Amino acid sequence: MKIIVTGAAGFIGFHLTNQLLKLNYDVIGFDNINDYYDINLKFGRLTELGISKNYIVENKFVLSEKYKNFKFIKADLTNAATVNKVFEEDADIVIHLAAQAGVRYSIDNPHAYIESNILGFLNILEGCRNSKTAKKLIYASSSSIYGMNAKIPFSTVDRTDEPVSLYAATKKSNELMAFTYNHLYGISTVGLRFFTVYGPWGRPDMAYFKFSNKIMNNEPIQIYNEGKMERDFTYIDDIVEGICKIADSMAVQEAPENKVYNIGNSNPVNLMEFVETLEEELGVTAQKEMLPHQAGDVYRTWADVEDLKSEFHYQPNTSLKNGIKKFVDWYKIFYNLNK
């Protein structure tokens, strides 16, 4: 099976690509390597996949020096011609993870979200529509679309028409667009509402990564709503396992379907407990700056994943302590802190 993975230099995309390659799938990686956060981290991930920074050329395929079943192209989702070029590779499934991420960043940079998350997603859908083979799409949605939903745990049958950030609004739009393309053109689509994914090679804009940087630099960490927040932290390996199971199921699927699932740990953790676990693994006590609630943030996330468990035998099993330990072990090696 040949799979297109967009966002292959991103956090989830990198881990997923690495696992698919180890399972001997043919993978075509796609990423624009933008500077939303440190591009050296993105190039580091690609190096792990056998793609050297020195050989990357805009809009041209690069073959992996590590995996014979992997090639990568640096390109932008908003470039329809290049997206179509990738779809000429006759893939069987598209796993679309590329997006402009970040709730808070969307408040200051709204245009980036419309371009990447709306126009970019449209180009992916059009690629599937025009492809002879790639009629099956798994795409990244987000738990952010639940907004200020007071009912817990969050279920896919809950209302999601009151997003509190533009990022969330674009993800809700993706789900609506996927429904339309399923209805009109028979494309099978699965949207995954991710819940606070963490782990090695993560995104520096995520709280646990930012906290680690500040703690190790003896700077205070900013804790919003005075720490009275809960997140359904989900370790990256559990996420990747879930996506792989869905991809395998879609590979033998005949009738086109349109589905949306939560993918999380279904075990929310208080933010202060998370900080304490991080302090313990780093071996440093954080200076804490307690701040009021920030616009765009939700108070609690909690995934109802019963349908994912029953249909795909999804079973997240990484504890918070083990997950944070694995992140910190990687973090210390990557930033050369084991002196």
Q: 212 near 279, Cβ under 8 Å?
A: no
Catalytic: 208? no
The two beta strands, 288-290 and 61-63, are: unpaired
**What angle do the packed helices 39-48 and 11-22 form, to 10 degrees?**
0
Q: Quote the distance between the C-alpha of residue 214 and its chain's center.
A: 23
Which residue bears the tokens 């952010």? 144
Which of 11, 5, 36, 81 shows the shortest CA–CA distance to 236?
11
- Sort 338 into a burial class: Cβ within 10 Å, 0-12 / 13-18 / 19+: exposed
Q: How far apart are CA 333 and CA 339, in angstroms?
A: 10
Q: How far apart are CA 189 and CA 125, in angstroms?
A: 10
Which of the following is catalytic: 25, 105, 167, 261? 167
Q: Is 40 helix (H, G, I), strand (E, B) or coil?
A: helix
Q: How far apart are CA 165 and CA 192, in angstroms?
A: 18
Q: How far is CA 319 from CA 83, 277, 290, 293, in A?
A: 38, 11, 27, 28
Q: 103 near 85, Cβ under 8 Å?
A: no
Give the residue numbers annotated as catalytic, written as ranges.
Answer: 167
